[in-house]
Amino acid sequence: MTDAAPPIAETAPQPQPKKGGPLRFWFAIPLWQRILVALILGGVIGYFWGEGANSIKWIGDVFIRLIRMIVAPLVFFIIASGVAQLGDARRLGSIGFKTIGMYLLTTIIAVSIGLTIATIIAPGLGATFQGVTPGVVTPPKSTAEMFISIVPTNPIKSLAEGETLSIIFFALIIGVAVILAGKSGEPVARGLQSGSEVMLKVVEMVMEVAPFGVFALICVLMGNGGAEIFTNIAKLAACVLIGSLIQTFITHGAVIRFGAWLPLIPFYRGVADAIMVGFSTSSSSATLPVAIRVAEENLGIKPTISSTVLPLGATIGMDGTAMYIGMLTLFACQAFGVELSIVQYVLVALTIAIVAMGAAPVPSGSFFVLPAVLASIGIVDAQTALIVGFILPFDRILDMMRTVPNVTCDLAIATAVARWEGEIDVDEYKSAKDV
């Protein structure tokens, strides 16, 4: 009888090389981390590259154009679809009342923070306008004109020109009409839902370009003297930075913690993509597609809320803008020796809260509404033009900082409203997953 063959020794399975190589590795990294690395690298390389960085400016321009390309159709489809999904027009009123009330509250807080910080730091004291080229001052629209322009005379023209408030108004009308049409409106509701889903897929595709676009935008900014111009207006920059941090983490943190009764870390981790894009593009409107995506995929907010609250917020949720206009108002008062009484402080705060909600969600949009505020305290157009001319060369960096609280405001309020309406998956929110 022969001995049995010895058992074959078990060997540990050898690791197999991952397929896909660098491309697979790239897509495995969460998007916000790719954008953050691109932002840092862009700043460093741009600083050393200097004006040569202008050769890649076209990459950033293409990225901005891609984002702006999708904003108008996205806003129309997601709002019309979201309203149609409510099934009851009365719910739209409930959501709208809570949303606008919250935006007004956080805007007033932002103005108060801006005025307080500017009073303490006094960035306008000692400012000199010698050699400053006066900026172009756009005559402000009256309140009546602002409200009338919301109703589009030609919805197609509004879509083509990206008039966000008019698009929102028209989409709301379509959504409500679908609800009222009942069974006859169901095919339209399905079409709007399909259109919304397709547009969100387009957003995902465009966002894969974001790291390259952010890299180019920051590289060009730093290459053209970003670090130096930042130090040239240090006191105002310090005001904007401190105010943005307070509004982003304390005010909006309070909305999440005490308004929605949810933990903070999942929120800030979940909205990182939107913060990075908002910071690099300086535009709440350009950030809207990303904000919608992170709200639904990271925070667990249902489309019925994300599709109504966020587009509205991209237009009227201007905490950073309100805070900045408050700072510029006191900057002007300090520079020109204008003393404000307590009553004037209150009136200025209320005026800013109103006009900021009508500010354009684009870079340097604050300058479009600043003349209306300064005129209310006796600062004439010629003086306002000096302020604009003095600030404008530095405004892009300041704009980047103050866009962040605009973005977190929209997402914090959307989270709170979703919680109140029972339109959020709390388990998904708490998972704080990376995407």
| pLDDT score at 433 | 54
| pLDDT score at 17 | 47
Total-model pTM: 0.73
Instruction: Report which of 281, 341, 346, 340 is spatially closest to residue 314, judged by C-alpha positions.
Output: 281
What whole-number distance in Å separates Cα of residue 409 and Cα of residue 267? 12
In this structure, of 1-5, 354-358, 431-435, the range with the lowest mean pLDDT score is 1-5
Q: Is residue 6 a part of any domain in this protein?
A: no
Range of the domain at 132: 31-431
In this structure, of 17-31, 260-274, 280-294, 380-394, the range with the lowest mean pLDDT score is 17-31
| pLDDT score at 8 | 47
Instruction: Report which of 134, 122, 164, 125 is spatially closest to residue 285, judged by C-alpha positions.
Output: 164
Q: Is residue 189 a part of any domain in this protein?
A: yes
Q: How confident is the model at residue 198 (pLDDT cuts 50, 70, 90)?
A: confident
The letter for the amino acid at 48 is F
Task: Give 35-81 pLDDT, tens digit per residue.
Answer: 788 888 988 898 888 888 889 889 888 887 887 787 788 778 877 88
Q: Taking 60 as the threshold, does the pLDDT of residue 240 lie above it?
A: yes
| pLDDT score at 434 | 47
Higher pLDDT, 241 or 34: 241
Q: Is residue 276 a part of any domain in this protein?
A: yes
Higher pLDDT, 63 or 92: 63
Query: Taking all residues of the chain, what is their mean pLDDT, rounded to a whole number?
Result: 81
Q: Which helix (H) or strand (E) holds 268?
A: helix 264-270
What whole-number distance in Å separates Cα of residue 405 and Cα of residue 356? 13
Instruction: Report which of 120, 402, 404, 115 is spatially closest to residue 237, judged by C-alpha positions.
Output: 402
First to last CA, the chain: 64
Above pLDDT 90, what percent of the chain? 21
Q: Is residue 19 a part of any domain in this protein?
A: no
CB crowding 125-160: b at 16 or more within 10 Å, else e? eebeeeebebbebeebbeeeebeebbebeebeebbe
Q: Is residue 208 a part of any domain in this protein?
A: yes
Question: Tell me, what CATH number does 153's domain have?
Answer: 1.10.3860.10
Higher pLDDT, 377 or 85: 377
| pLDDT score at 37 | 86
| pLDDT score at 224 | 73
Higher pLDDT, 357 or 107: 107
Q: Is residue 9 a part of any domain in this protein?
A: no
- Packed helices 395-421 and 319-336: angle between N→C axes, nearest 10 degrees: 140
Higher pLDDT, 249 or 354: 249
Report whether 274 contacts 310 (CB < 8 A): no
In this structure, of 85-99, 162-176, 283-297, the range with the lowest mean pLDDT score is 85-99
Q: How confident is the model at residue 143 (pLDDT cuts 50, 70, 90)?
A: low
What whole-number distance in Å separates Cα of residue 75 and Cα of residue 164? 8
Q: Is residue 78 a part of any domain in this protein?
A: yes
Q: Is residue 68 a part of any domain in this protein?
A: yes
- DSSP letters, 196-255, are HHHHHHHHHHHHTTHHHHHHHHHHHHHHTTHHHHHHHTHHHHHHHHHHHHIIIIIIHHHI
Two tokens, residue 228 = 């130096």
According to the per-residue pLDDT averaged within each range, which of 116-120, 126-130, 314-318 is highest?
A: 116-120
What whole-number distance in Å separates Cα of residue 130 and Cα of residue 71? 41
Number of domains forming the structure of the chain: 1
Task: Give 247-272 pLDDT, tens digit per residue.
Answer: 999 999 999 999 999 999 999 999 99
Two tokens, residue 13 = 């399975």
The letter for the amino acid at 145 is E
- 333 burial level (CB within 10 Å; 0-12, 13-18, 19+): buried
